[in-house]
Structure 1
Amino acid sequence: MSSDYIINIENLSKDFYQYRSPFHNVSSLLKRTPGEGTAKFTAVNNVTFGVRKGERVGIVGANGAGKSTILQMIAGTLQPTRGSIEVRGKVAALLELGAGFNPEFTGIENIYLYASLLGINKQTTESRIDAIRDFAEIGDFIYRPVKTYSSGMFVRLAFSVAINVSPDILIVDEALSVGDYLFQTKCHRAFEQFQEEGGTVLFVSHDLTAVRNTCDRAILIDKGCVLLDDKPDIVVNSYQELMKTKEIQWLKSQVALRSEYRFGLGGGKIEDVMFSTASNQNVTEAQVGESLTISITLDLESDFENPVFTLTLRNTSGIDVWGFNSKNLGISIKPGAGKRKITFNVPNNLGLGSYTVNAGLIDMLSDGQFSEHDHRWGMKLFSIIGTSKTIGFINMEPILIKQEDSF
């Protein structure tokens, strides 16, 4: 292992087995081989990466991707099935709430217990009690059993012990997410000081902003494999695109289960809203930035004075990211009864994701009132796919005008 690397992982894999019964579990342990009919699940599959001394590396991925399993093997609480792990230095790990603590012991007693598990002797721990207590900021609760602590108080104490026992490597598995904003900020400042002193940080987090802003590198894990190991911005953007793609696939699988909510007075209806691209008619998805043509077909079953339609696209968070009504756009629809079809082009600035299509048909009456004839909420699903160079609800790619080296 190069002297630059404090953690080196090569071809790391971890298999778990699901047994048909406790008897088969005991039998497999005695035989030291999985029994017949045992189901195998590979949580980590042939993972290779290294971490340099002094780096802060964030690991991102969906729940169940294998992130925590990798950290547990690095910390030594799990043994790999295949592959190798080399760690140079003392490791302090916050893998899950409760790990290394006895709920019946007081905070002070658990400080000694947890420090001893990290290989710190009693005399050294005593010299750091004040620093641990000051960082945790839980007051007199430090003299009470930790079973009386909130999750936030618990992680304050656990992190305070881990950061104050002078490890070479600090591993944190999503534990900071239960802390409040001020404590999280305090922890990231502690990370910075820890790194300045030569410490190495490896942490799993769903806080993509923290990964983007505080890490030197990031690693994307999916289905037990390393998909990407690169700069935080690149990895976070790729992870968000991956999640959007999975979200779109899931939503498509749910189309048959979706129920449209429709209401109105009747006397007129929205027959269809059709999306088309330059190459295809009546599509349910389009590439990022691909121009769209939208056609709305109305059936005015009664005499309308001033028909107006509305259209909105709503994302999966329930936010209307784009919409309009024909009156505000100055589109005049022929009054009276009969069918109408309105077609228009739309510059596609939508971000990656899936959108439900909501449409409405109303009649603006001469006395200033209006009649709501038909509303269709969630009438269909439309998706934007591909690769986006930006993030967020709207795809607005900046165009470089000039670049100045000195001004």
Structure 2
Amino acid sequence: MSSETMISVNELSKCYMMYDKPEYRLWQMLWRTRKAWSRDFWALRDITFDVRKGETVAVIGRNGSGKSTLLQLICNTLEPTRGNVQVGGKIAALLELGAGFNAEFTGRENIYLNGAILGMEKSEMDARFQSIIDFADIGDFLNQPVKTYSSGMYVRLAFAVAIHCQPEVLIIDEALAVGDFLFQQKCSRFMKEQFSDVTKLLVTHDMAAVANMADRAIVLHQGKLIYDGDPQSAIREYQIVARGGKHVTHIASDKHADNSEKSNEDILKAYAERDWITINEHTLSGSLRARIRKCAYEVDGVSGVGAIGSGQQLVIDFEASIEGHLDQVIVGYQVQDRFGSVIFGENSMSSDFSLPNLDAGTWRFSLMFDWPIVAPGKYAVTLGIGSGYDALSHSIECWAHNVIILDSSSDVDVHGLFNVEISQLTVKESSQ
């Protein structure tokens, strides 16, 4: 392992023997190798990767993909079946909520207990004690048994101890997910500002955190490593396998491809095979002279992916049934944050698209736009059909609310909900 490599994982595998009945364990001991009363379950198989000094690597995958097993093997709390792991430097790990805590001890006593587990002398913990309790911010509960703590207080204290024991490698398995919003912000800011030289390995289901914090991301699926690379592509891989699809390591999309040679039959077949989302009537509002029935979407040509990044192309197809006749049809969308605030939106009239008058029947619509630079997080897309002659004031025939949920990320820092570039900047010495 080179001096710049802090974690080296080589052909790592972990197999468990699974018994259908408890008594089979005894029978296996008696029969030894003459008969197998168990079956093999490979939690991990042939995993290889390196993590460099100061690098932040996220490990993502569905539940049961082997993420926690991988971290336990790296922390040496499990023995591998095959392969090996080398770690250069002192590890601080949050593998399980409250791991290393004694439930009967107070918070104060557990600070020193955890410090001892991490190899710190009492004098060193004395010097760091005030910083730890200031960061944890658990108030009067410091002198109460930790069995009385909430899950948020547990993780506050555990994380505060871990980061103040000067680890060279920090490993976190979903622990921060239970902290409150402000504490998560504090942890993120601390790791970016104070832990830039610390190697970090994170397991999380928060795709915004992956995009915002990780330099690299690893995707595990059914115990195998299926992707190792930039976070944006890793998120896309994860979303594909999470929806039951096959992972695609290299995805190419020609936005300007010529489809003129495709027959109507090919187009109709492709349309029918889309991952359609059936829209519940309860999500509709408006006059309902039009009703949006189903929709499907693609992110840079990939169907049904639940993650999107700034600059990626979103294509939304939807079908609507129309009763009677609609003049001056307007089609649009809104994107809302998790608080229900409309962040951005547009309609066909504002974008200078002139749509025909529509008679009764079922009609297909398709709209496309590039995702802007917005703050990382979850956003919901609402689709709309209207009629009239004004982009802002017209008849709302149908809103289909929150029909698509997307996990948005950005490869640049976002200073608020979205960014507005500075168009001019001057610096002059002030005359007195």
The TM-score range, normalised by the shorter chain, is: 0.5 to 0.7
Instruction: Return closer, same or farther for 1:163/1:2 CA change in 2, 3 Å cut-off.
Output: same
**Higher mean C-alpha displacement, 39-48 vs 24-33:** 24-33
The amino acid across from 1:222 in the alignment is H
Aligned-residue CA RMSD (Å): 5.3
1:238 is matched with which residue?
A: 233
1:309/1:359 contact within 8 Å kept: no
Report the CA distance between 1:292 and its aligned residue. 9.8
Instruction: Return closer, same or farther for 1:292/1:13 CA change in 2, 3 Å cut-off.
Output: closer
Write out aligned runs for 1:174-323 (5 A).
Answer: 174-192=174-192, 194-196=194-196, 198-230=197-229, 235-246=230-241, 261=281
Q: Distance in 2 between matches of 1:244 and 1:97?
A: 26
Provide structure 1 residue ranges, at least 5 long, that are not aligned to the other structure.
Answer: 276-283, 363-369, 383-388, 391-407
Report the CA distance between 1:25 and its aligned residue. 3.4
Report the CA distance between 1:290 and its aligned residue. 11
Instruction: Return closer, same or farther for 1:32/1:147 CA change in 2, 3 Å cut-off.
Output: farther
1:116 is matched with which residue?
A: 116
Is 2:66 the partner of 1:66? yes
1:27/1:35 contact within 8 Å kept: no
> Structure 1 length as normaliser, TM-score?
0.64
1:310/1:323 contact within 8 Å kept: no
1:8/1:85 contact within 8 Å kept: yes
Q: How many residues align?
A: 354
Q: Distance in 2 between matches of 1:294 and 1:165?
A: 54
Report the CA distance between 1:313 and its aligned residue. 8.7
Q: Secondary structure at the match of 2:58?
A: strand
The amino acid across from 2:234 in the alignment is Y
Report the CA distance between 1:13 and its aligned residue. 1.2
2:24 is matched with which residue?
A: 24
1:274/1:296 contact within 8 Å kept: no
Q: Distance in 1 between matches of 2:94 and 2:78?
A: 14
Q: Point out the structure with max Rg over C-alpha.
A: 1
Instruction: Return closer, same or farther for 1:341/1:215 CA change in 2, 3 Å cut-off.
Output: closer
2:13/2:44 contact within 8 Å kept: yes
CA offsets 1:352-390 (integer angstroms, 9 cap, x no match): xxx99999999xxxxxxx9x9xx9989xx99xxxxxx99
Q: Distance in 1 between matches of 2:278 and 2:53?
A: 51
Q: Distance in 2 between matches of 1:143 and 1:60?
A: 37
Q: Distance in 1 between matches of 2:281 and 2:139?
A: 53
2:132/2:161 contact within 8 Å kept: yes
Report the CA distance between 1:176 and its aligned residue. 1.3
2:314/2:368 contact within 8 Å kept: yes
2:25/2:37 contact within 8 Å kept: no
2:219/2:237 contact within 8 Å kept: no
1:83 is matched with which residue?
A: 83
Identity among equivalent pairs (%): 36
The amino acid across from 2:211 in the alignment is R
Write out aligned runs for 1:317-356 (5 A).
Answer: 346=366, 348-349=368-369
Report the CA distance between 1:47 and its aligned residue. 0.8
Q: Distance in 2 between matches of 1:137 and 1:357?
A: 40
2:62/2:242 contact within 8 Å kept: no
Report the CA distance between 1:333 and its aligned residue. 5.2
Instruction: Return closer, same or farther for 1:313/1:118 CA change in 2, 3 Å cut-off.
Output: same
Provide structure 2 residue ranges, at least 5 long, that are not aligned to the other structure.
Answer: 246-271, 297-302, 305-311, 372-379, 388-394, 405-409, 412-432
Report the CA distance between 1:144 and its aligned residue. 0.2
Q: Distance in 2 between matches of 1:290 and 1:115?
A: 49
Q: Distance in 1 between matches of 2:112 and 2:125?
A: 7
CA offsets 1:241-273 (integer angstroms, 9 cap, x no match): 3354346658x99x999797599xxxx999x99
> Structure 2 length as normaliser, TM-score?
0.61
Q: Distance in 2 between matches of 1:41 and 1:113?
A: 36
Q: Secondary structure at the match of 2:96?
A: coil
Report the CA distance between 1:88 and its aligned residue. 1.8
